[in-house]
Structure 1
Amino acid sequence: MRNLAFAMVGAFLGASSALANGDALVIGNSQYTAVQTLFGAQRVAQAASALNAKGFDVTLAQDAGASDMRKAFGEFAEMLDDDGGPVVILLSGVFVHSVGGSYLLPVTGNGRIDEADVLIQGFPLDAALAVLSAYQGRAFLVLGETGAEPDLNLFLTAGLGELDIPQGVTVIRGPAMDVARYAARDMARTGRFVRRAAIEYELQIEGYAPQEQVIVREGDVSPPRGAIDPPLPDPFANRAADDVSWRLAQEADSAEGYKTYLNGFPDGAHVNAARQRISALTSEPFYRERRAEEDLELDRDARRAIQRDLTILGHDTRGIDGVFGNGTRGAVRRWQEETGLKVSSYLDRDQIARLQAQATRRAAELEEEEKRQQAERARQERALWRRVRDRGEEAGFREYLQKYPQGQFVDEARAVLKAIDKQRAEQAVGQDRRDWNKATQANSVAAYNAYLRDWPNGAFREEAKQQIAELQFDAERVRNSVQARNEEQGMNLNFVARQLTERRLDQLGMKPGKVDGQFDENTRAALRRFQDARGLRVSGYLDEQTMVRLLAGGIIGIDR
C-alpha cells in the first residue's frame, strides 16, 4: 500500500452508539512523486472526520494505489443501505479522461504514468456515478482537481473532461485546494446550502442542483458518542504506541521522522508507508519548499494576486485563474531565477512579499510611462491637426484620418472632406462619376484600384486612396482581432476576472456597458478605445499586453 490510512472510519469511532444515516467514500491522493497535488493526506482525514462527526459511515483511503482504491470502493459499496441519508463520494488528485470516461490516477511508487495501465488501474468515475445513480436527490460526487498536467501522449487527456451525470446526482468540482477547504470546513455543516457554498468557494455545480439543496439536513444524521479527531484507530489490534509514533512521523513528514519511526517500530503496522514516504521525499528535490507553500493555505484570491504580479513583471502564467498549473509554476521559476533566488517553482511568505513589492514598483513605472506616451501622442496629434487646418488641403485631412482614425478632431476632418467630396461630385464628368459609383458599390481594394487605373487624375482619386487605406486598415484589424481573440481564450479568464476588467474600463471612462462579466459588443468597443488610447494593438480583445496595462492601472490586483 502507498499509505495504510485506509479504514472504515464510521465503524470504529463510537459506532456502537451512532445512528448513522449517511455514507461517504473519501479518496485523497496527494503524493504522486513526479506529479504533486495540493490536497494532502491531513486534509483528507479532516474531511472524513467532519463527515464522521455528523454520523456518516466513512470509508477513507489516502495516497492510494490501484488495489487500495478498489478495496475502498468495495467496502463503501458493501456498507450502503437505503436509509434515506445522503451518499457522498469525495475524490481528489490527478484526473485524466478519454472518450471512454474519466479516471482518478492511482499513486505509484515511481510516479510514472502508463496510459494503458490507467484504463485498468485508475479509479473510473463512471463506477462512482453508477452507484450514486441509485440514490437520486441525495447523491453527491465531490471532485478536487489538481493543477498538475501529467505527460500524456496517446489517448488520454489531462483533466476531468465532460461527465455523463445520471439524473438526480449532484457533482461539485473545482481546484483541489478549494475543494479541500470546502470539504473540511463546510460540506458536513447542517443546513448549509450547496449552491451558496459553491459560490463562496468558487466551485462548479453540475447535474442535479435545486436552489435550497443541502447535504446534511437537520436531524438527518446523529453524531456518534465519543467521536474523536484523526488519526484513526486501527480496528485490528491494540497498537497505541505504534499509532502515536506514526502520527508524530506524519506530522513531521520528513525523511528523518519516518526513519525514527522505522528504528523504533521495525515491524510496525506502518513500515511500508514509512519506507515509501522516505522514497518519495528523497526523490522530490523541493519537498520542503512545496510544504512551506502549502502551509500558507493560499486561497484563490491570493493565488490570483500572485499570478497578476508575475504577469506585470513579464512572466506569463497562462491564465489568471487562481490555479497553480504548469504555466504558473514555470513563471515562478523564471521569476526566481531572474531575482537570484533558489529556483523551486514554490513560494514562501517572504518571496510572495518580495514579488508583490516588485510588481507594485513595476506597475507604477508602467503608469508613468503610459502617461508620458499619452501626452506625447496628444501633442503630436494636435501639432498635425494645426498644420492640416492651417493649410486646408484635402490630402492633409485624409492623412490625419488615416493616422488618427479615432482622434480628437475626427468629426471636424470628416466634415471638411464631406464638403470637398460633394463639390467634386457636382463637378465630375458623367463617365468619371459612373465609374466611381461602380467602385463604391463593390467597395473593395480591387475596385478602387481599377478606378485609379482608369482615372489617374479623376475627380475621386483622393477619396479612392482613402477608401483603400481604410479597407486595408480594417483587414489588419481583423487579423489582429483573430490573434488577440486566441490570446484571450488562452488566458482562461473566469467570471470574476471579466467582471473586474469591465469595472476597471468603466473607472477609466471607456464605457463598457453593464458590469456583468459578459464581454459583449460594448465591452469590445471599450477595449478598443482603451487600446487605441494606450498605443496598443487595437483588437477589442484582452490580450496579454492589454491585461498588463490594465493590471498596472489597478485591475483585479486592488484586493491584496
Structure 2
Amino acid sequence: MRKLAPFVLGPVLGPVLGPVLGLWASTALAAGDALVIGNSQFNAVQTFLGATRVGVAAEAMTERGFDVASVQDADGQAMRAGFADFVRALEGDDGPVVVILAGAFVHAPGGTYLLPTSQAQDVDEATALSQGFALDTVMAILARYPGRALLVLGETPAEPQVGPYLSAGIGPLDIPQGVTVVRGPAADVARFAARDLMRVDAPLVPAAKRYELDVQGFAPAALVLLRAGDVGGRPETPPAPVDTSADEAAWVLAQRSDTADSYRAYLRNYPEGLHASAASQRVKAIEAEPFYAERRAEEALDLTRDARREIQRDLSILGYNTRGIDGIFGRGTRAAVTQWQTKSGEVASGYLTRAQITRLDAQAARRAAELEEEARRKQAEADRAERVFWSEVEGVGDEAGLRAYLERYPEGIFAEEAKGYLRAIDERRADRAAAQDRRDWTRADTLNSVAGYRSYLSAWPQGAFANEARMRINQLDREEAQDREAVQARAEEQSLNLNVVARRLAEARLGQLGLEPGQVDGSFDQDTRRAIRKYQETRGLRVSGFLDEQTVVRLLADGVLGGR
C-alpha cells in the first residue's frame, strides 16, 4: 500500500494497525481493492475500541494480495485523501471491492456520514456535514461493481450531540443493486473482519450472522468474497526497502504499550521521527482521559456481545437503567456502571474489571432471588385476600357480590365460576322480564358495544338486565384502554426479537410459577397474556400482558436475551 499522511493513532490501534498503515500492495497483482477507515474518537473525550481494531482486516487483506488504502483516527481531509487513493487503484481490477468504515455515524434524510476524529469536546452539525465522510460517495463507487462490492460498517456506541438536523447512528441506507452491506457494533464488526472476512471460499452471510451482524442488500446464501483462484498462484510482492527501520520499530513498541510513558520514550529517541506528531498527540489524549488505564483494562477482557448483555441484565436486576439490553455499552450502560461502582465503593470509572464483573453477577443473583421471594410472598398474600373475598361473596350468593368480585378480579381464580352464577341469575331474570325488555336486551347483547348497552339503559334504567349492561360497559371500556396500551406494548415485545425457543422458555417459566400460561408452544395466546399480566402485577412491573426488557430480565435473567 502506498503510504498516506500520518494520523493520530487511537489506543490499542498501534499494535493492530501500525504494521499495516502506510503500505500499498502492487496493483498489478491485486486480488481485490479495499478502503479501511477506523475512527476511534469523534471528540477529545471518548475513545472506542471497536473502531481501532478494524485495522486487523487491513493487514489480512494485504496478506491476501489486496490493494488496501487504510487510514485511522482521520479528519475529513485525510479520509478524502484515502478515498481518492482507493478509487485510483480500482482502474482495471476485477476482484472484490471492499470498504470498511468504523466509528461514530450520524444521518439525515439526505444521507449518512462517518464523523471525523476531532480534538473538540463535541461535533457540531456544520463539521459533520462538511468534514464527515458521506456514505453516498462510497455507494456511488460500489454500485459500479455489482456482485463483488462489499460495504462493512462498524458503529461505535457514541451518541454525538449534533442538533436538530442530524440524528445519531447509521440510519436507513439506500443500497445500490448488487452491493452487500454488513453492519453492526464496531467491536463485533472488528472481530468478523479480522477473523472471517478473508477466509477463502467461506460463505459471507452465515459468517456475518454468527457475529449477530445485519446483512443487507445483495445477500445470497452462497455469497463468497474471496475464492481460492483469486489468491492462488500469485507471486508475493517483495517488501519495499525500509530506510527507517529503527524509527518504525520504536514506534511499534510505543504503540504496543500505548501509554504516555511509551510515547514519551519514543519522542526522546526520535524527537523529529516519522511519528513524532502522532506520539505527541497520543500523550495529550492519554493525559486528558481520566480513566485511561481502566478503559484499557476492560478492553483487554475482550468481552463478547453476550457477556456485555449479561452485565446489562445484572445492572438492571440491581435497579440501574442501562437504556437497553443490547450488548452495546453506550452512555446509559456507562452511567449505570458508574452508579454501581459508586454504591459498591469502587473507583467510579465507568469501566469494569474481571473482579468487578464477578462481584456484580453475584449481587444480581442474590437480588434476583430476593425479588422472586418477595413476588412469591406478594402472590400468596394476594391469593389469600382473593379467596377470603370470594368466600364472603359465595356465602351471601347475591348478584351484587358476584359483580363486585368480577370488578376487582376480572381474571381471578374464581372468575369463571362467578360468571356462571351470573349467567344463571340472568337466565332466571330473563324468564321473568317483560317481553319488550327481553327483546331490547337481546338486541344490545348481539351488538355487544358500549353504544348498544347505553341505548338499552336509556330505555330500561331499571330493567331486568340493567346491572349486566353497566358491567359490560365497564368491561368494554377497560378492554378498549388495554387495546390502546397493547399497540405500544406489542411493538416493544416484537423489538426484543424473541425466537420460538425463548418464547417457550418464557411460557415454561410462567408455568413453573403456577400462572397457567397454557400450552408451552412458543405461541402467546390469551392464557399466556393473562399469565404475563399476573406476573407483572405481582412484581410491580408495568402491566401490559406483553414482554418488555424489565419483565424478561425478571422472568428469565439467564435465557431470553442471551445466555449467561
Report the TM-score, using the length of structure 1 for normalisation.
Answer: 0.89
How far does residue 82 in structure 1 lie from its aligned partner after superposition? 3.6
Is the CA contact (8 Å cut-off) linking 1:30 and 1:93 kept in structure 2? Answer: yes
How far does residue 443 in structure 1 lie from its aligned partner after superposition? 4.8
| Residues 1:347 and 2:352 aligned together | yes
What is the match of residue 134 of structure 1? 144
Is the CA contact (8 Å cut-off) linking 1:477 and 1:538 kept in structure 2? Answer: no
What is the match of residue 185 of structure 1? 195
Structure 1 SS opposite 2:216:
strand
How far does residue 383 in structure 1 lie from its aligned partner after superposition? 2.5
How far does residue 504 in structure 1 lie from its aligned partner after superposition? 2.0
Is the CA contact (8 Å cut-off) linking 1:15 and 1:224 kept in structure 2? Answer: no
Cα distance in 1 for residues equivalent to 2:133 and 2:93: 26
Note the 1:147-296 alignment, pairs <5 A.
147-222=157-232, 238-296=243-301
Is the CA contact (8 Å cut-off) linking 1:103 and 1:123 kept in structure 2? Answer: yes
Is the CA contact (8 Å cut-off) linking 2:498 and 2:560 kept in structure 1? Answer: no
Cα distance in 1 for residues equivalent to 2:126 and 2:35: 26
What is the match of residue 376 of structure 1? 381
How far does residue 447 in structure 1 lie from its aligned partner after superposition? 6.2
Cα distance in 2 for residues equivalent to 1:207 and 1:544: 30
How far does residue 119 in structure 1 lie from its aligned partner after superposition? 1.8
Q: Which piece of structure 1 moves more, 29-38 or 431-440?
A: 431-440
Q: Which piece of structure 1 moves more, 476-485 or 457-466?
A: 476-485
Cα distance in 1 for residues equivalent to 2:156 and 2:459: 66
What is the match of residue 563 of structure 2? 559
Greater relative contact order structure (CA < 8 Å, 6+ sep):
1
- C-alpha distance 453-126 of structure 1, shift in aligned 2 (>3 A): closer
How far does residue 418 in structure 1 lie from its aligned partner after superposition? 0.7
For 1:367-411, what per-residue CA distance to the aligned partner results, in whole angstroms no more than 9, with x for missing partners? 111222222222223333333223221222222222222223222
How far does residue 461 in structure 1 lie from its aligned partner after superposition? 3.1
What is the match of residue 99 of structure 1? 109
Is the CA contact (8 Å cut-off) linking 1:165 and 1:207 kept in structure 2? Answer: yes
For 1:181-228, what per-residue CA distance to the aligned partner results, in whole angstroms no more than 9, with x for missing partners? 000111001111111112201011111111101111122124877789
Is the CA contact (8 Å cut-off) linking 1:22 and 1:86 kept in structure 2? Answer: yes
Cα distance in 2 for residues equivalent to 1:150 and 1:162: 18
| Residues 1:117 and 2:127 aligned together | yes
What is the match of residue 496 of structure 2? 493
| Residues 1:503 and 2:505 aligned together | yes
Is the CA contact (8 Å cut-off) linking 1:480 and 1:538 kept in structure 2? Answer: no
Cα distance in 2 for residues equivalent to 1:10 and 1:511: 60
Kindly report the root-mean-square deviation, in angstroms, between the aligned alpha carbons of the 2 structures.
Answer: 3.0
- C-alpha distance 367-117 of structure 1, shift in aligned 2 (>3 A): same
Is the CA contact (8 Å cut-off) linking 1:319 and 1:493 kept in structure 2? Answer: no
What is the match of residue 526 of structure 1? 528
| Residues 1:420 and 2:439 aligned together | no
How far does residue 84 in structure 1 lie from its aligned partner after superposition? 2.7
| Residues 1:34 and 2:41 aligned together | no
Is the CA contact (8 Å cut-off) linking 1:133 and 1:168 kept in structure 2? Answer: yes
Cα distance in 2 for residues equivalent to 1:227 and 1:512: 64
| Residues 1:461 and 2:472 aligned together | no
How far does residue 453 in structure 1 lie from its aligned partner after superposition? 6.9
Cα distance in 1 for residues equivalent to 2:324 and 2:530: 21
What is the match of residue 144 of structure 1? 154
Matching residue within 399, 404, 410 for 2:404:
399
| AA of the residue aligned to 2:125 | E
Structure 1 SS opposite 2:143:
helix
How far does residue 501 in structure 1 lie from its aligned partner after superposition? 4.4
Cα distance in 1 for residues equivalent to 2:115 and 2:233: 33
- C-alpha distance 290-524 of structure 1, shift in aligned 2 (>3 A): farther
Structure 2 SS opposite 1:135:
coil
How far does residue 485 in structure 1 lie from its aligned partner after superposition? 5.0
Structure 2 SS opposite 1:39:
helix
For 1:211-248, what per-residue CA distance to the aligned partner results, in whole angstroms no more than 9, with x for missing partners? 101111122124877789xxxx9x68611111111111
Cα distance in 1 for residues equivalent to 2:525 and 2:249: 60
What is the match of residue 371 of structure 2? 366
- C-alpha distance 89-534 of structure 1, shift in aligned 2 (>3 A): closer
For 1:521-554, what per-residue CA distance to the aligned partner results, in whole angstroms no more than 9, with x for missing partners? x3675243222245255422223542343145x4
| AA of the residue aligned to 2:215 | I
Structure 1 SS opposite 2:505:
helix
- C-alpha distance 468-477 of structure 1, shift in aligned 2 (>3 A): same
Report the TM-score, using the length of structure 2 for normalisation.
Answer: 0.88
User: Runs of 5+ in structure 2 lacking a partner?
Assistant: 1-5, 512-516
| AA of the residue aligned to 2:86 | F
- C-alpha distance 513-558 of structure 1, shift in aligned 2 (>3 A): same
Cα distance in 1 for residues equivalent to 2:288 and 2:274: 24
- C-alpha distance 331-527 of structure 1, shift in aligned 2 (>3 A): farther
Structure 2 SS opposite 1:129:
helix
Structure 1 SS opposite 2:102:
strand
How far does residue 269 in structure 1 lie from its aligned partner after superposition? 0.3
Structure 1 SS opposite 2:154:
strand
Cα distance in 2 for residues equivalent to 1:9 and 1:483: 49
Structure 1 SS opposite 2:351:
coil
For 1:306-326, what per-residue CA distance to the aligned partner results, in whole angstroms no more than 9, with x for missing partners? 111111111122221111122
Q: Which piece of structure 1 moves more, 538-547 or 184-193?
A: 538-547
How far does residue 10 in structure 1 lie from its aligned partner after superposition? 10
Is the CA contact (8 Å cut-off) linking 1:170 and 1:207 kept in structure 2? Answer: yes
| Residues 1:317 and 2:295 aligned together | no
Is the CA contact (8 Å cut-off) linking 1:524 and 1:540 kept in structure 2? Answer: no
Q: Which piece of structure 1 moves more, 218-227 or 20-29?
A: 218-227
What is the match of residue 546 of structure 2? 541
Q: Which piece of structure 1 moves more, 101-110 or 476-485?
A: 476-485
Q: Which piece of structure 1 moves more, 267-276 or 436-445?
A: 436-445
Cα distance in 2 for residues equivalent to 1:12 and 1:544: 47
Cα distance in 2 for residues equivalent to 1:547 and 1:261: 52
- C-alpha distance 64-473 of structure 1, shift in aligned 2 (>3 A): same
Cα distance in 1 for residues equivalent to 2:492 and 2:338: 22
Structure 2 SS opposite 1:162:
coil
- C-alpha distance 511-195 of structure 1, shift in aligned 2 (>3 A): farther
User: Runs of 5+ in structure 1 lacking a partner?
Assistant: none
Structure 1 SS opposite 2:320:
coil
Cα distance in 1 for residues equivalent to 2:519 and 2:149: 42
Cα distance in 1 for residues equivalent to 2:488 and 2:211: 33
Aligned-pair identity (%): 50
Cα distance in 2 for residues equivalent to 1:382 and 1:558: 39
Cα distance in 1 for residues equivalent to 2:337 and 2:484: 32
For 1:22-81, what per-residue CA distance to the aligned partner results, in whole angstroms no more than 9, with x for missing partners? 11111111133234323253x233111111121212111111111211111111111114
Structure 1 SS opposite 2:428:
helix
How far does residue 2 in structure 1 lie from its aligned partner after superposition? 3.2
For 1:487-540, what per-residue CA distance to the aligned partner results, in whole angstroms no more than 9, with x for missing partners? 657xx52456x852442224433247754xxxx7x3675243222245255422
Q: Which piece of structure 1 moves more, 363-372 or 428-437?
A: 428-437
Is the CA contact (8 Å cut-off) linking 1:28 and 1:40 kept in structure 2? Answer: yes
Matching residue within 58, 64, 80 for 2:90:
80
Cα distance in 2 for residues equivalent to 1:270 and 1:524: 66
How far does residue 422 in structure 1 lie from its aligned partner after superposition? 1.0
Cα distance in 2 for residues equivalent to 1:120 and 1:313: 44
